Amino acid sequence: MQILPALPWIIKVLGSLAIILIVNSLLKNLTISVVLGTLTLALLSGHSLTTVFSIVSNCLFSVNHLSLMIAVAQIYWLSSQWAKTGMMQELVVLIQSRLSPRASIAILPAVLGFLPVPGGALFSAPLVDSCDREGRIDPTLKSVVNYWFRHVWEFWCPLYPGILLAMEITGLTILQVMLVGLPLSFSAILAGYLFFLREIPGGKLPTQSPTNGFLKQFLLLTSPIIIVIGIQTVLPIFFSGITEFNKYLPISIGIIMAYLFLQILKPLTLATWREIFGQKKIFSLLLLISMIMVYVAFIEAKLPNGTPLVTTISEELSSFGIPITVMAMLIPFVSAITSGLSLGFVGPSFPIIFSMLGPNPSLPQLLSTLVLAYGFGLMGVMLSPVHVCLIVSNEFFEAKLTPTLTRLLKPAFFVILYTIAFHFLISLFPG
């Protein structure tokens, strides 16, 4: 039996999200907050106890979820190994030998942002922290800089699953997606500079002449990332069915290869490895991520009437007679902010939005709608309190959720305004 049946579903979902935010601000415990928000959504959805148990168990014990947990743990341990070898600090020193501290703290997470893996902010967080040797930068600022610049390439980079799915749904080529996505990336970089980097002391550019072999050193020190990206990209080409078997398998294999390469390059002792694997922080992180995925599972689950919740929300918005332009803004944004995933807004919203363009939309229609939908969707992802990268970044820097979300509002609004302007610019071109 549904609670408050007359209430629109979009209000119910946003209500569950409000519970998460309010409880977290009171208890300062995001895991408990997510659990209570999930229970609220389950009650409002009218699910039976049997259905609730089924959704939770299917989520937690699914191959994808267990693989995700393994991948996150692997990332955490690889990040620790990378730090223990001293190579992270060497990379920081190398970058700082060519760039100012302000530039370095942005470049490092941006470089590692080409690694689109769950919880990938764990890679860049230690590097960002190493740039602040004197501890002068506020932890909240370091967290948002790490988080923001980590995702500046997600508007176009084909390594991101959301981009691949968007290409499949729209029928656009990677070149077309890159041509409209790159300007959005530049807007995100500019927003990061205007609202974050200007608060960080610029410092002086290095006075010594650049060392010889900079590129060689850079490639060697970033080899763990290169190995993971390389294997993640190449493996599905030669073994086409590997991602169908398990979408996280290429990532896990890549990380294992990176483990082995680093161990050969800079061996760690058994005692050090015990220290790496014995870190208790990873268990609380995995518990938190698991609860978030359960919440997402309820967002994606079918209601008692057999219709998926995300579909119902989309139909509600459509029934209000809202124009396609507004729909392309709202549906991805709402889907994104509630799921915290790129796939969480591309998968449910893009088929509906692009079907509204008609059977034969022009190329400018497709591109302008893609810009609007993806720009709003990704900003929804960046503002989502259940985004895994935001959570792990805050956990690392010991920053609070509400202050970080507050600091993200201005740059997100900047990118949104740019997105709207760019959308209308593209729509002016003839078909």
Transcribe 202-258 into DSSP letters.
Answer: --PPP-SPPPTTHHHHHHHHTHHHHHHHHHHHHHHHHSTTHHHH-TTHHHHHHHHHH
Count other Cβ atoms within 10 Å, centred on residue 428: 8
Does residue 106 sit within a domain? yes
Q: How many independent structural domains does the chain possess?
A: 1
Does residue 105 sit within a domain? yes
As a whole number, mean pLDDT of residues 203-231 equals 75
Confidence label for 153 from pLDDT (cuts 50, 70 and 90): very high
Confidence label for 31 from pLDDT (cuts 50, 70 and 90): confident
Q: Is residue 265 predicted with pLDDT exceeding 90? A: yes
Does residue 3 sit within a domain? no
Does residue 370 sit within a domain? yes
Chain segment 339-354, per-residue pLDDT in tens: 788 877 887 778 778 8
Chain segment 306-319, per-residue pLDDT in tens: 888 877 877 777 77
Residue span of the structural domain in which 145 resides: 9-202+212-427
Least confident of 118-122, 178-182, 196-200: 118-122
Confidence label for 64 from pLDDT (cuts 50, 70 and 90): confident
Instruction: Report which listed range, 69-78, 145-154, 165-174, is most confident.
Output: 145-154
Does residue 349 sit within a domain? yes
Does residue 195 sit within a domain? yes
Residue 205 burial (CB < 10 Å; 0-12/13-18/19+)? exposed
Q: Is residue 25 predicted with pLDDT exceeding 80? A: no
- The confidence score (pLDDT) of residue 204 equals 57
Does residue 137 sit within a domain? yes
Chain segment 81-110, per-residue pLDDT in tens: 888 898 877 887 788 778 777 888 998 899
Higher pLDDT, 202 or 105: 105
Does residue 236 sit within a domain? yes
